[in-house]
Amino acid sequence: DPKRCSCVYFEVDLNPTCRLLGGSASLLRLYHRFRALDRNKKGYLSRVDLQQIGALAVNPLGERIIDSFFPDGNLRVDFPGFVRVLAHFRPVDDDDSGMRDPKQPEPLNSRMNKLRFVFQLYDLDRDGKISRHEMLQVLRLMVGVQVTEEQLESITDRTVQEADEDGDGAVSFLEFTKSLEKMDIEQKMSIRILK
């Protein structure tokens, strides 16, 4: 029962963290993963520790995902912070929506929060818009040397132009969500890391 979740390894209240994952069994499995990454038993993870995760090492946006563990220039992430980021990647259960208390914040693995997370991977300067330059940087990471710079510039211009409804030359979060409304982001941004 997520409301009664507890973990003997911590001296802090993990009930909110437990709810992010759907229960104490998931929390315990993720804690073991955290401990395995924390090879020096420091009680926190650094960028170097997270770079050990194979799926991030091969992901073109892996470094940006790792950046999301360290908001505000922090150099370490504790277990609750580790869980908060990974909760975005938790698959959405079909019965989650019916059980949600409307007074509680939307779950981190909801469609809107998954989209917000991805948007922030693009919006490096955190101005609430994805500029042409930011889009170009992400596309460059994703395609590597497979296309010429001229082709990449053209793809970037077309991508921004198609999503930019207000004509300001950038993509707002609202425009971003509209451009991805037909994409199954819940499925594409789900990793069964806890199994």
Each residue's pLDDT, cut to its tens digit, for the chain (195 residues) gives 334 444 444 444 455 555 555 556 677 888 888 999 999 999 999 999 999 888 888 888 999 999 999 988 889 999 989 988 988 887 776 555 556 567 777 788 888 999 999 999 999 999 999 999 999 999 999 887 789 999 999 999 999 999 999 999 999 999 999 999 988 877 777 665 544
User: How far lies 162's CA from each of 75, 128, 165, 167, in Å?
Assistant: 37, 18, 8, 10
Six token digits for residue 40: 């020096």
Quote the pLDDT of residue 175: 97
- pLDDT at position 30 is 84
Token digits of residue 86: 């990974």
Domain spanning 12-89, CATH architecture: Orthogonal Bundle (1.10)
Specify the pLDDT at position 194.
44
Tens digits of residue pLDDT in 120-169: 999 999 999 999 999 999 999 988 778 999 999 999 999 999 999 999 99
For residues 129 and 165, the answer to whether their CB atoms sit within 8 Å is no
pLDDT of the residue at 2: 38
**Nearest residue to 138 via CA among 38, 63, 57:** 63
Burial class for 92, CB neighbours closer than 10 Å (0-12, 13-18, 19+): middle
What pLDDT score does 13 carry?
A: 47
SS (HEC) of the chain: CHHHCCCCCCCCCCHHHHHHHCCHHHHHHHHHHHHHHCCCCCCCECHHHHCCCHHHHCCCCHHHHHHHCCHHHCCCECHHHHHHHHHHHCCCCCCHHHHCCCCCCCCCCCHHHHHHHHHHHHCCCCCCEEEHHHHHHHHHHHHCCCCCHHHHHHHHHHHHHHHCCCCCCEEEHHHHHHHCCCCCHHHHCCCCCCC
107-195: same fold as 12-89? yes
CATH class label, 107-195: mainly alpha
Please, what is the average pLDDT of the chain? 82
pLDDT score, position 166 = 97
Provide the whole-model pTM: 0.79
Q: Is 177 within 8 Å of 166 (Cβ atoms)? A: no
Domain ranges of the chain: 12-89, 107-195
